[in-house]
Structure 1
Amino acid sequence: MARLSWFPIAFFLVLALSCAIDVMAGGEGSLRHEQCGAACDYRCSETSHKNPCIEFCSMCCQKCLCVPSGTYGHKEECPCYDNWKTKEGGPKCP
């Protein structure tokens, strides 16, 4: 019977954690145009190629209104950002 009493608590914690992850990650269209600069500054903060990174990140953010969390990876959070490719087929957005 004790196991059943933990179920509502565990369910609430899982629900709260999933909501927190959604808020942190943002998602497609979660930014406003004026927020792109700060999001791209952070996204490109650890690269040695800051100017091109910020330029392409800003272009992608203006189109998609989303920048993936972190400084690398996590592109699945923003499908538009992830799917935009160069003429050669490589990723357009850093």
Structure 2
Amino acid sequence: MDNMGLVGMVSIFTAGITIAIGAVGPAIGEGLALANALRALAQQPDKANTITRTLFVGMAFIESTAIYCFVISIILLFANPFWGQFTQQGGG
């Protein structure tokens, strides 16, 4: 196996792991945040506006992690920075 094939396999594997962990982690975090927000709303219904606003801001921060992982996996698949280095060195 040449270096280009190895770089391709490692890039695809890394992109898959990145998107897998990047999807599962924020999904668990969002579920826990929603469960706690619903619990807080049940205990203090008069603070619904504050709790909801804080929940949406928190969800946005949690979701940004998944978006960053998605961007990194797309870069690894379609705009891999390592391809140019190996083609210039004659790696495959």
TM-score by length of 1: 0.32
